[in-house]
Structure 1
């Protein structure tokens, strides 16, 4: 639409488009050009000034009709960083780079596919829409991410509430059990109290009856005192009654008083009350570990590099390592992570396992023995069991020792009696070590010389073969919820198995080198992973 020229003191001539600079000064002047960069219209006079300024000389000038119709030609307006007065209007397809004409002449003079951008886009109309769609897709992804993470927060909050409810439910059950035990204990106190009170009341009633009889007899005799003959007769007639009453008083005098009801706390609950109670352990599912460092286990007296063949975590959180190269046991403080005691075995140990009541068992394959130690901040040798077979892998569950030689697994009592033997037909090569799950439902077996990990039933039958995610397993460790960690000596990883031996996931794959004899400390959520011939043990903590 044409613009009227009635502006200020200017002429009343009508023009299609006014000069923007003149219009600011209330001057009615027809525009000649449109500047794409300034987004303004200029008359011939203002255009001269515009073109004379160095900073504006490189601007794109078009006919005023282009600006008026708002359908500007597809020309770049971006200034070149290297050549200030040039616009970025060239594209080198060979290097996928844009630049001004000078950039192209200097840096891409030998390139074959160089285009003027407006001409390039004429034949490729889909470039901009595709890029816009790409940005739209990214935008949608971020929206989806925000929604997903927002939903994750909601799920995590709900998960937290469920776990707290689980704890509260258990606490209520425990509280009810305590209240029930309290009621039972009070009832027993009341019962014993009632029995004592009943006996005392019977004694009191008996005393009152004897006293009443005595008083009656006494009164009768005293009433005859004025007549000695009659008094003598009364005395003789009632002598037996007085004797009986006198004997009764002697008997009453012998009744022992001072009996009191006393409640004695069950020693098990006495121990619980002295310790900090722990309902259970909090862990993140699925298992995810973070490397936390190492613990140095080499002793000054060690003559060789450490080679840990067996390890176990004791109930107090301390850790025991069996060092085959140095023929000793090393006890590690679970908090300070320092060696607090050691025991020289004078022979090479193969494996260790925790027993009940702060005891551990150590298998000595060359001696065909298992040595039993008591552990209480120090190692105290107790006794040993001798066998006819080489004692390699060792595990313990429900008062039974599970010991393996090269080919078989033996179930033994703590006095060394063999209760049952599993034949060697479940493994084609020698057994390296064994592990029995807490519920005694499964026996995990690792085979030497590149063999596989096996999961056996309690009857010794193969229920699962684990081979895809682990190569040459050396060592198992108990995890939470009856699950089992297995270390792959040649696959340099630690995997998680359920109690049936089914693979669940890889928990550690990076940062390991020939792991063996790993153990998990449920007290602090740390996995300890020794490697072959190293003096330190790697520590990984649950994230």
Structure 2
């Protein structure tokens, strides 16, 4: 629950923030005043209103001060750490205790009007340098950054390990490809040799039948020619020729009878689609 001081502070802050400025005077802000800044000193990285500027000029005569006509140069030259991320170039001056959020005046006006406790950062910051958690800030940040560095280095080593693994796997893949190529070459050679052997056997069988038929054909034609030419003058020669033609025709018919049930020789290629695959690529 907010204290009476916090509640009254909330109302005073809201009243003071009725006028919303792009830049507030840094000096006045330290006095809990919301006064519009019309000047910016890049050397000090601070903003000044018309009343505070003369005091600054007396102390820092050589500092370069930018006026409103150069306001586009103000942003980014001051301490960007204190700039509101939601409403740049507004400055973070308040903290909403309900939401534990740093706010500018515009944040409070738009998003935190119903919040019960709004505190000035300048009040919360008093004595910050003496607090234990602030004194431990450097050590804590160093601890976290060291851990981040360790994780980064571990990830980099992991990257290098993955690259090395990739190269190793690529070598294995190429070796496997070479082995497969050699295996396929040998398989092709054996298959072609087997095909040639089968075709040679079939061709030999067919050629044997062709030669037999050609022989019988030529023998019958020769006997017929003998009967027709030589047998004209001798009945005995004609008889002998006739008998031999009959015998040869009987032989031919027997051969034709034996050949007739034989089907036409065919040959086909049926590949073996079973392939032995290598190891799969796995991730852990």
Give the TM-score normalised by structure 1.
0.27
The structure carrying a bigger strand percent of its residues is 1
Give the TM-score normalised by structure 2.
0.45
The structure carrying a bigger helix percent of its residues is 2
**Which protein shows a greater Rg?**
2
Higher RCO structure, 1 or 2 (CA under 8 Å, sep 6+): 2
